[in-house]
Structure 1
Amino acid sequence: MKGVLFDLDGVITDTAQLHFKAWSAVAKNDLDISLPANFENDLKGISRTDSINRILDFAGKADQFSSAEIETMLDKKNTYYLKEMDKLDNNDIFPGITNLLDQLKQAGILLSIASASKNAPAVLTKIGLIDKFDAIADPSKVAHGKPAPDIFIEAARKINLDPHECIGLEDAAAGVQSIKSANAIAVGIGNSSVLSKADKVVPSTDYLSLSLLENVYNSVK
């Protein structure tokens, strides 16, 4: 194992909830609908374009808006999200993550972010982890979002590694599929039935460690 590729939302900090609050505001204000709480799972790990399309389908309003109108909704969503994100600090880092990053750095493992969020650098800065990472893949530079492999391939490329030399960490089924399609090893964080395609699933970030990741990598390879 030479590299670890991290999703951000739901792996390092709970920005997934902030995204859902922002999407819910767009749905209420622009589409006059309320998103049910469990709809958050439908939006996990996918691009903002795929997210708005799923919301429009849910509202029964697919194909009713021009591309310019949709772009306006996406801009509004980002504005809502940035207001929520501004409240983040290092207390919002998930348990065990800072220790894991320190262990990996001390072992000489390269660290890269593979997030669908274009706000990843700002989030990492807000929570004080920006300097822990060697690279951040830019989701605007890849052709396809998760579950396609593009973002994890790009995250590995940014640290000059092949994906098969890396482990990817994800909390969403779409993200796990993305990791596997990139030919990296997938460790899921959360519900084992939802993340069943992962090579290893742990219930929370508390369980992550250098030794666990090394054991998973060596057992699969």
Structure 2
Amino acid sequence: MSVKGFIFDLDGVITDTADYHFEAWKNLASNYGITIDREFNEQLKGISRMDSLNRILEFGGRKTEFTEAQKEAMAAEKNGEYVKLIEKMTPEHILPGVLDFLTELKKHNYLLGLASASKNGPVILERLNLSGYFDTIVDPSLLAKGKPDPEIFLTAARQLGLKPEECIGIEDASAGIESINKAKMFSVGVGDKESMKEANYRLSNTSELSLEKILNRLS
């Protein structure tokens, strides 16, 4: 079956907001006597806000101390700081090769979807001047399960009006690759060999994104 759509993760694939997420989570954790470092922050890539918070609280031995309402307030506090940080973003924060790749895909009439665990995806795309490239954006707040469950990629395909096998998913986190694979899509991973070992096709970085090379791997 021919490919008709591409579905993108956001962080690490289109732009890199990892430092903003880390700063916001680190500050929140510190408020509750928990210290996290960049190594721990790697565990939070690709997963939802609440899943990230639960991992931090578990790491600090405080997972059972808060009600769901309290945790919602904590997550909102983190997001408030994160939103202030991403207001600094401009098109200069688009990762290398991404704009050319998106332009190439639209030139060939592919449908594009965003499947990010970040509820701030639409805002970030606007800051990067990329909103016009995407035909649909999945709202993660409406999903029952986060990555590595395939729901987010299956939802993106459905919103594009495509079958999963007509889509290619692009991710930089192992949880995201697992999500794409479970959705029965061709997976393109951006990152090192170990974390991207389950990807159907691996790139070291976004500057290597090429429609021709990806389609050649499908044949």
Check conservation: 2:8, 2:169, Cα contact below 8 A. Answer: yes
1:26 alignment counterpart: 28
Residue number in structure 2 paired with 1:134: 135
Identity of matched residues, %: 47
Deviation track 1:103-144 (CA, whole Å, cap 9, x = no partner) reads: 000111110000001110000000110111111011112110
- The CA RMSD measured in Å over matched residues stands at 0.8
Q: In the TM superposition, what are the counterparts of 1:128-167 in structure 2 within 5 Å? A: 128-167=129-168
Distance in 2 (alpha carbons) for counterparts of 1:201 and 1:83: 33
Secondary structure of 1:87's counterpart equals coil
Give yes or no for the alignment of 1:2 onto 2:4. Answer: yes
> Normalising to structure 1: TM-score of the pair?
0.96
Cα distance in 1, alignment partners of residues 193 and 178 from structure 2: 14
Aligned residue identity for 2:135: D
2:95 counterpart residue number: 94
- The CA deviation string for residues 27-66 of structure 1, in whole angstroms up to 9 with x for no partner, is 011x212211111210000011110110011101111111
Unaligned residue ranges in structure 1 (runs of 5+): none
Give yes or no for contact 1:121–1:136 (8 Å, CA) kept in 2.
Answer: yes
Contact 1:112 1:159 in 2 (8 A): yes
- Using the alignment, how far apart are the partners of 2:67 and 2:182 within structure 1? 33
2:7 alignment partner, SS class:
strand
Q: Secondary structure in 2 aligned to 1:194?
A: coil
Amino acid at match of 1:17: D
Q: CA deviation at 1:16?
A: 2.4
Q: Which runs of 5+ in 2 are unaligned?
A: none
Give SS of 1:164's match: helix
TM-score by length of 2: 0.97
Question: Structure 1 residue runs of 4+, over 3 Å off?
Answer: none
The superposition leaves residues 58-94 of structure 1 with CA deviations (integer Å, 9 ceiling, x where unpaired) of 1011111111111110010110100110000000000
